[in-house]
Structure 1
């Protein structure tokens, strides 16, 4: 009895459409073989019997094979009564499974299985703009959006939506964090600045805990959590409060429509900043000479990154060293 119960339990664990498929196939094979044995003249091969069974239970009824004896017709009646209901249930279960899968995808419950993707934390206007930019620069790059405020997916091409708390381990595993290329954490617009920054740090700790090598960019709204973000392993800290204030003040001082210039800084416009290692031919040269050389390649030298220090527009006589990095504006 225990063994029988175990078998039934294992059977019931299979998906309903899979179980119905097996039953339908069994009915087709059994009745296809039986009709071949009963009426060998009308059904000379087993394949002919199976073909007749498929056509009959599917209610197509081509009429190319028809039982001639009373026994054969009785077998056909039994097969129709047994098989038609299961075939109907099969198509209903397949349709139900497809609809359920679609709803699960829209609701953000489907696990992402791709690799080398970008995980974007938080849905807001900044995230929408970043998605548009990335689609322009790297159109084939997969993006996994994690957010717990959206009710359903925004339905953007190459964007896989997962609904849940981004600080939760199960949510991050659904995003296949171990195979991700990078993660971008945007500030939660539904919280105040202090709480939003603390939440971002918590998400960063969760990301680095599951994938220490993941390249993480975090947005902070205040200065208080900058040190904590560094300790948590942030690769880049974007202090949006400083960037915004600097752009606003620059626009005020210039008084000549700098906002149109800022829009050109979007990578989607074809212009982007890059940090490049120094070529051997540039080592020992001055900032002026390196600028002229890069300008011939349609790149503008903005500054030099030396260790943790960054010098923007240094003196023309500034000498470039071996381990420096070049900050260029290019397209």
Structure 2
């Protein structure tokens, strides 16, 4: 029984052991001084109070021993009790600093749920985090950073490879609601895409139902990324190429496009299904109805694989079409 108690005691954190030993000494010496000088220390509580004040070197002077035995007891308490209390506060401070360092260095797992995971640290992820950190709990996973890049309560940093189970479990992948994978800019395009696909496989293997958004550099890896489980794909090079081509063909085209993208932060650009009251309606009529009834701005029509932006106003809308629109919902 004694051996089992000792084993359990040794397995406790060192600051807990020191606190228990200090508390034991305070109670012991408080009881002893009460027995030695009951007139000066009427109760055990008075003795414990004196022991705490003495061991902590505060020394209020409201209680003090006058006999030789009592003073010897006080000297022994000062020699041993003060050391235990000092050690406790030193280890407590060290443990606090160690945990803070571990948090800043990304070695502490996340404890929450219903959060967003962003993989990769770059200018894109920085902008995303800065825009969302006021309303979302965000986990940033990156293996190149040495410390937490953003000092915010809603942003938790985890250092590690995102395609390792250990790293994903630290990020609580099982309770996350969405994952966004940004392309690794330290690799060439094909290697970056292969790294993204491997990360997708690891994520979907642990949580098949989680929504995954991935950035892809090369068009030939788009299908592989979809097979790996990507719910949404962002073709980074295709978007950049489209902007550059638009700039070549149109003067001052970049500023309006960037302004439109900035405005979409508070609005939603998406495909919506054709409701029954829009079947057979002209594009102009459908635009007026959607704006009036749903506060939705109609931009174009997707018919099969073709997207028609700003189509002729008399173009009839079919049941199987998808409508490209901007809404506030």
TM-score, structure 2 as length reference: 0.88
User: Does residue 248 in structure 1 map to residue 241 in structure 2?
Assistant: no
Any stretches of 5+ residues in structure 2 without a counterpart?
A: none
Displacement after TM superposition at 1:117 (Å): 1.0
Counterpart for residue 148 of structure 1: 143
Displacement after TM superposition at 1:287 (Å): 4.0
| Counterpart mapping for 1:94-173 below 5 A | 94-135=92-133, 139-157=134-152, 158-173=154-169
Displacement after TM superposition at 1:319 (Å): 3.0
> CA 1:233 to 1:42, structure 2 compared with 1: closer, same or farther past 3 Å?
same
Output the CA distance in 2 between the equivalents of 1:20 and 1:277.
67
Q: Which moved more, 1:3-12 or 1:163-172?
A: 3-12
Report if aligned partners of 2:267, 2:326 keep a CA contact under 8 Å in 1: no
Give deviations 1:165-209, integer Å, cap 9, x for gaps: 100000000111111110000111011001000000000010111
Report if aligned partners of 1:145, 1:161 keep a CA contact under 8 Å in 2: yes
TM-score, structure 1 as length reference: 0.87
Output the CA distance in 2 between the equivalents of 1:289 and 1:328.
17
C-alpha RMSD over aligned residues: 2.8
Any stretches of 5+ residues in structure 1 without a counterpart?
A: none
Report if aligned partners of 1:166, 1:172 keep a CA contact under 8 Å in 2: yes
Output the CA distance in 1 between the equivalents of 2:299 and 2:245.
20
Output the CA distance in 2 between the equivalents of 1:295 and 1:305.
19
Counterpart for residue 287 of structure 2: 291
Give deviations 1:15-57, integer Å, cap 9, x for gaps: 1111111111111122222222332222223322222221111
Displacement after TM superposition at 1:102 (Å): 1.5
SS at match of 1:109: coil
Displacement after TM superposition at 1:262 (Å): 1.3
Counterpart for residue 174 of structure 1: 170
Report if aligned partners of 1:305, 1:327 keep a CA contact under 8 Å in 2: no
> CA 1:295 to 1:5, structure 2 compared with 1: closer, same or farther past 3 Å?
same
Counterpart for residue 183 of structure 1: 179
